[in-house]
Structure 1
Amino acid sequence: MALDPELLLLRDDGEEEFAGAKLEDSEVRSVASNQSEMEFSSLQDMPKELDPSAVLPLDCLLAFVFFDANWCGYLHRRDLERILLTLGLRLSAEQAKQLVSRVVTQNICQYRSLQYSRAEGPDSGLPEEALFGNLDLLPPSGKSAKPGAAPTEHKGLVSHNGSLINVGNLLLRAEQQDSGRLYLENKIHTLELKLEESHHRFSATEVTNKTLAADMQELRTRLAEAEDMARTAERQKNQLQRLLHDFRRRLTPLQLEMQRMVEKADSWVEKEEPAPSN
């Protein structure tokens, strides 16, 4: 399967733009250098058969060798995806994955098993538009890469630091964030009102609690006074009961003495009365 002409890497005319990418070459090479020899030995048994119709130019082979710092003969899928995303192409992460999947088997690309060909003569058989690659997607420079060709306009897209930014999506996201901010502000205002109302209720409850505490203290004082009065009355009652028992104990002999005196008086009266005549 032949790669689409629009997806070919930039050659001599695009080297200056490629050198200004955000991801440095040393970073990508360091990622490939971290692969161990044990991992390479485990990959020897993997299948290397690809579609024989995929024929690449020798420049692709040089690019593979450049990024393969250990000369392992393969590159990982994630490394190829990162390389594609640093070219300034208008590609999403999913599109980069789909492109890489054409030359990847079991998450690696064994570039030595691919077929390469050298272009013979000045004409490589590609149309003139394909020779300029993705120059129309890169930021404009001082010299025009294609004289006489009008730059391709992409509505809603702005180039920034080698990447294309969708202004419409950014504005939509900003509107969503602004609406979310307004919602949160209204929510915070409502919570502040509820908090203030809770403070007022708490203050009123605190005043009521203080009043109830004062009333309870007064009632406790009255209760203590009533208990003192009850204890005093109990002592007086006990004292009166003792006095009553003393009076009763003293009056009993007097009553007996008075009863004997009354009986004696009655007996004297009966003796002094004359006997009735017949």
Structure 2
Amino acid sequence: MKTVRPDLLLAFTYFDQSHWDYLQEKDLEELLYTLGLHLSRAQIKKLLSKVLSQDLCHYRRLTDAKQSEDVQLETTVTDEVLAKGNHPLLPQGATCTQVTNAGEKGDAQPDMVTYNGALVDVGSLLERLCSSEHSRSQLEIQLHQLNQNMEKVSCNARKKEEDNKSLLRELEEMRGRHAQTELGLQAAGEQRDNFSAILYSTASSLASLTHTIQSSFPQLKVEDDCKSQDESEEKKLNNCGEV
């Protein structure tokens, strides 16, 4: 096989970074999209179907041809050829400046510019920039509102924290008062028990003393009974006389 289209081989090898001698269908589609030909997807599919085999383009079939028996290949490469690089393989008479000027004259659209070897839609980029600016302004407004809401929430939280602290102080005071009241009630209960014990002991002492006195002086008891009977009879007589 002999390379009959070295310029085409150079173009394919430029995009074939893995050096597998083929390009995938999706890579070729992206290349055609970036050329600015305004082809539809169906047109690109139809165009690529002529050179694709199982979604692959084996570009050696396009750049190489069978060598006849009387033609001999030059296998030796001189230093002068290596020093020239790939410039001899490029199309003659077509420089980057000429291609750019030709595109500016009529082939390229006003909104399309060439940047790093690719066509860029400036109008689409401006629309995206405007939409991104609008989104950014909306996000800034929402962020400002969120900051205001956060400040309000922080103020409410501080107020509630202060209220909780005051309620805790009041609760501690009430607990102290309750403890003091319980101590006072406990002391009063102890005094009540002491006074009850003293009263019971005094009553028992008086009862025993009264019993001792009555047993020691029985005559006084009889006289007292007689006096009480006489007084009751006199009261009855007085009541009858008045009637």
Whether 1:157 aligns to 2:112 is yes
Identify which of structures 1 and 2 has the higher relative contact order when contacts are C-alpha pairs closer than 8 Å and 6+ apart. 1
Indicate how the Cα distance of structure 1 residues 233 and 261 shifts in structure 2: closer, same or farther if over 3 A, else same. same
**Which aligned pairs between 1:75-90 and structure 2 lie closer than 5 A?**
75-78=22-25, 81=28, 84=31, 89-90=35-36
Indicate how the Cα distance of structure 1 residues 164 and 247 shifts in structure 2: closer, same or farther if over 3 A, else same. same
Please give the per-residue CA displacement for 1:217-265, whole angstroms capped at 9, x wherever unaligned.
1111111111110111111111112111211221121222344466422
Larger radius of gyration: 2
1:213 Cα shift?
Answer: 1.2
Q: Distance in 1 between matches of 2:142 and 2:215?
A: 106
Q: Distance in 2 between matches of 1:31 and 1:195?
A: 55
| Pick aligned residue for 1:141 from 95, 98, 113 | 98
Please give the per-residue CA displacement for 1:76-134, whole angstroms capped at 9, x wherever unaligned.
42475178359x621589749623334223222356778x99xxxxxxxxxxxxxx9xx
Q: Distance in 2 between matches of 1:31 and 1:84?
A: 17
Q: What is the total number of aligned residue pairs between the two structures?
A: 191
Q: Helix, strand or coil for the counterpart of 2:98?
A: coil
Q: Helix, strand or coil for the counterpart of 2:129?
A: helix
1:158 Cα shift?
Answer: 1.2
Indicate how the Cα distance of structure 1 residues 175 and 260 shifts in structure 2: closer, same or farther if over 3 A, else same. same
Aligned to 1:120: none
| Pick aligned residue for 2:174 from 219, 222, 228 | 219
Q: Distance in 2 between matches of 1:82 and 1:190?
A: 46
Whether 1:264 aligns to 2:219 is yes
One-letter identity of the residue aligned with 2:171: M
Q: Distance in 1 between matches of 2:210 and 2:27?
A: 134
Q: Does structure 2 retain, via aligned residues, the 8 Å contact 1:139–1:159?
A: no
One-letter identity of the residue aligned with 1:265: L
One-letter identity of the residue aligned with 1:207: E
One-letter identity of the residue aligned with 2:173: E
One-letter identity of the residue aligned with 1:198: V
1:152 Cα shift?
Answer: 2.6
Q: RMSD value over aligned CA atoms? A: 4.3
Q: Distance in 2 between matches of 1:181 and 1:241?
A: 88
Q: Distance in 1 between matches of 2:185 and 2:31?
A: 101
Q: Distance in 1 between matches of 2:127 and 2:199?
A: 104
| Pick aligned residue for 1:181 from 136, 141, 145 | 136
Whether 1:31 aligns to 2:9 is no
Q: Helix, strand or coil for the counterpart of 2:113?
A: strand
Whether 1:104 aligns to 2:69 is no
Q: Does structure 1 retain, via aligned residues, the 8 Å contact 2:52–2:58?
A: yes
Q: Distance in 1 between matches of 2:118 and 2:224?
A: 151
Q: Does structure 2 retain, via aligned residues, the 8 Å contact 1:156–1:167?
A: yes
Q: Helix, strand or coil for the counterpart of 1:31?
A: coil
Q: TM-score, normalised by structure 1?
A: 0.55
Q: Does structure 1 retain, via aligned residues, the 8 Å contact 2:51–2:57?
A: yes
Q: TM-score, normalised by structure 2?
A: 0.62
Unaligned stretches of 5+ residues in structure 2: 66-90, 227-243
One-letter identity of the residue aligned with 2:35: L
